[in-house]
Amino acid sequence: MGRNIKWVYLIVLSLIWGSSFILIKKGLVGLTPMQLGAIRIIFTGTFLFIIGFKRVKEIRNKEWKGIILTGLLGTFFPAFLFAFAETEIDSSIASILNSLVPLNTIIIGFLIFKMKSSKRQVMGVFVGLIGTIMLIMNGATLNPNQNYLYASLVIIATFMYAASTNIIKQHLQHVKALTIAVGNFVVIMIPAIIVLISTGFFKEETLTNEHLKPALLYMLLLSLFGTAVAKVLFNKLVQVSTPVFAVSVTYLMPIVAVFWGVLDGERFGFWQGFATIIILIGVYLAHKKKG
C-alpha cells in the first residue's frame, strides 16, 4: 500500500483540481465574476484561518514583501481573471491553458530571476506555445459565439502563478507552506471583502436571486476542497514521492476538466484535443529530468 499511496494522492488531487473549472462556471450562473472571485477568497481564507491563523506569528518582517506579492499574484488577481475568462470561454479550455504554469515558471525564472534554462526546457516552451496558439485558434473556429480574447486572461493568470512560484522558490523556500498560505490571505482578505461589498452583493435583488444558493455551494466546495484539502494532499504527495512526480498532476487535470465540460455540453473537437497533447508534451519536455 505504501508504494501505491502516491498514486491515490495523485488521482484524488487530479479529480479535485480538474473539477475546479466547472465549479467556477456553475458559480457564475448566480454570481458576477467580481463576486465569485471575492467570495472564493473569503471562503478559502476563512478555512485557512480556522486551521492555522496562529502561523502568522512565524512570519518575520523581511518575509512580508514576498508574502504580499505571492498573495496578490498567486491568489488574488487569478481568482478574478479566471472568473472573467469563463464568462466567454469553456471551462475545459481554461483548464488546458492553466497547464501553461510550469512553462511560464521557466520563462519568468529566466527573464526575471536569471535562472539558467536548458535546450530541452527552451524547446518545451516553444512546443507549448505552438500548442496554445493551435488550441485558441481551433476553439475560436469551433465556438464562433465565444470571445477567445478572454483566453488571454487565463494566460495572464498563469504568468502570475509562475511569478508567485519563483518568488516562493527564491525568497520563501524556508517558510512552511501553510504559513505562506495563511499570510497570503491575511493580505488579501480585506481587499476581497471590500470588492464584494462594492459589487452590491448585499442588496436585496442579489440575496433573493434563486441562483445564489447553488452558486455559493459551488464556491464552498471549490474553496474547501480545491484549496484547503488540496494543499494538504499536495504537500503529502511531495513527501511520499518526488517534486517531479507531484507536478505530473498537471497532465491529469485537463482530462478531468474536459470530461466535466463535455458532460455539461461544451464542444471539444479533435484538433483541440491534438493541441492539448502538444501543450502537455511541451510541459513534459520542459520538466523532464536528464538521463
Contacts of 200 (CB under 8 A, 6+ apart): 206
**Higher-scoring residue by pLDDT: 174, 193:** 193
Residue that the C-alpha cell 441562483 belongs to: 211
Tell me what the mean pLDDT of segment 151-158 comes to: 96
Cell of 47: 478555512
pLDDT in the model for residue 264: 94
Contact call for residues 248 and 99 (beta carbons, < 8 A): no
pLDDT of residue 291: 44
Which stretch of 13-22, 68-77, 237-246 has the lowest confidence by average pLDDT?
A: 237-246
* Confidence at 130, pLDDT banded by 50, 70, 90: very high
- Judged on CB neighbours under 10 Å (0-12, 13-18, 19+), 135 is buried
Q: What burial letters (b/e) apply to 82-107, b meaning 16+ CB within 10 Å? A: bbbbbbbbbbbbbbbbbbbbbbbbbb
Please state whether the predicted TM-score (pTM) of the whole model is above 0.85: yes
**What is the C-alpha separation between 189 and 104, in angstroms, rounded?**
27
Nearby residues of 177 by Cβ (< 8 Å), 6 or more positions away: 231, 235
Residue 127 near residue 285 (C-beta atoms within 8 A): yes
Q: Quickly list DSSP for 157-209.
A: HHHHHHHHHHHHHHHSTTS-HHHHHHHHHHHHHHHHHHHHHHTTTTSHHHHT-
Among 26-30, 113-117, 139-143, 145-149, the minimum mean pLDDT is found in 113-117
Q: Is the pLDDT of residue 241 over 90?
A: no
Average pLDDT over residues 240-266: 84
146, 89 in Cβ contact below 8 A?
Answer: yes
Q: Is the pLDDT of residue 150 over 90?
A: yes
How do residues 37-89 score in pLDDT, each as one tens digit? 999 999 999 999 998 899 999 999 999 999 999 999 999 999 999 999 999 99
For residue 117, name the pLDDT band (cuts at 50, 70, 90): confident
The stretch 102-116 carries a mean pLDDT of 85
Rg value, the chain, Cα = 19
CB-based contacts of 287, cutoff 8 Å, min separation 6: 102, 124, 244, 247
Q: H or E stretch including 269? A: none
